[in-house]
Structure 1
């Protein structure tokens, strides 16, 4: 049974989410402020975090940064912000998915299940360690090191890196990457994949690992 941490200060929305998750046999933990959410996250093993942005105490964006300092746990942001710039910024800062208020509960459940299936798929396929040149990936802890320096990746970035790393020289289109990592048909714009690749490159390049190549008009490969 998956455990989901709900961090949402609106009582009505919080109750709606909690009831829907309980009906789906998920275990839930409730937090009504960013500060409380951080404390409960640190004290409890959870599988997914549902995170509002406009929270009392520590806001959702700050809390997301705190979580990404030491964890790749899937985080689905639930927010009234619906502009493209805000969504892209949150995804770049570590969110694995983004759903806009008001939302359909069935869609939220579907997005949660996608995250769980992806996490299970990664776990099922894991080996002790994957190496490529200066890169080492510990499949048990999901720790990524480049020349013995740890780099902190989001869940999506980690999955994209692993996909490319396990298939060096193979060219992946944006649709290939989306369908492999998101585990659903490709329907998004190229911006989502481009943003995740850009963020992953930035973190890797900071450690001198410039291995992700763009094949213009086709996609990306690990070289």
Structure 2
């Protein structure tokens, strides 16, 4: 059960979401403005924050930047603003996801579950360091090391590497990666996965033609393996 903080100034929307999210087995606290929400996020340390942008005392994007200065709590921005530049700016400021109103509680719940899977929110086994051969991944610190050397990964590269390493030896379909890592449950471009895999391979010191950790299973998907465990080609 996730501990959520809903920051929403519209009383009708706030009440409806509180009721619906609680019906979906979440524990939810709420705040009607940015500063109340910021204090609640710091004091109560929720698993995830759902943040509206159109708040009465401070724009939600400003509050997000303030929150990011003191906390790495996952944040889903839930707003009526659908401008692409705004979405890119807010995601770049530290939001983990962005959903445009109107949406159903079930749609929001699916986003919440996906973000918590990616970030390890709510505690549990995903907080543990993942080790595959000489590769070490720390989900809490969002860091990865190979042979003791830190890997410089983008947020999505880290998410992809952590996802595959957590399922070492398991073949994962690209469509499954699009669903779980990119949060695209209705499909997307396989090319997105291919590009990120190519970037990861370069940073892991390998190529598709000479793989070490990342092995493509033609027509099925990709798997991450321990290269010291034997020939996995």
Common topology (TM > 0.5): yes
The structure whose Rg is larger is 2
Tell me: CA distance 1:193–1:73, structure 2 relative to 1, closer, same or farther (3 Å). Answer: farther
Report the 3-state secondary structure (helix = DSSP H, G, I; strand = E; otherwise coil) of the residue aligned with 2:50.
strand
Tell me: CA distance 1:21–1:173, structure 2 relative to 1, closer, same or farther (3 Å). Answer: closer
Q: Which has the higher contact order (CA 8 A, sep 6+)?
A: 1
More displaced stretch, 29-38 vs 122-131: 122-131
Report the 3-state secondary structure (helix = DSSP H, G, I; strand = E; otherwise coil) of the residue aligned with 2:29.
strand
Q: Count the aligned residue pairs.
A: 209
> CA offset at residue 137 of structure 1?
4.3
> CA offset at residue 129 of structure 1?
5.9
More displaced stretch, 30-39 vs 116-125: 116-125
Alignment of 1:59-208 (within 5 A): 59-118=59-118, 119=120, 123-125=124-126, 127-128=128-129, 137-139=137-139, 141-144=140-143, 158-163=158-163, 175=175, 177-182=177-182, 185=185, 187-188=187-188
Tell me: CA distance 1:136–1:128, structure 2 relative to 1, closer, same or farther (3 Å). Answer: closer
> CA offset at residue 180 of structure 1?
3.8
Conserved? CA contact 2:34–2:60, under 8 Å = yes
User: Structure 2 length normalisation: TM-score?
Assistant: 0.63
Query: What is the alpha-carbon distance in structure 2 between the residues aligned to residue 37 and residue 112 of structure 1?
Result: 18
1:130-175 CA-to-partner distances (Å, cap 9, x unmatched) read 5999x96434x334378999x9986x564235347779xxxx9975
> CA offset at residue 77 of structure 1?
0.7
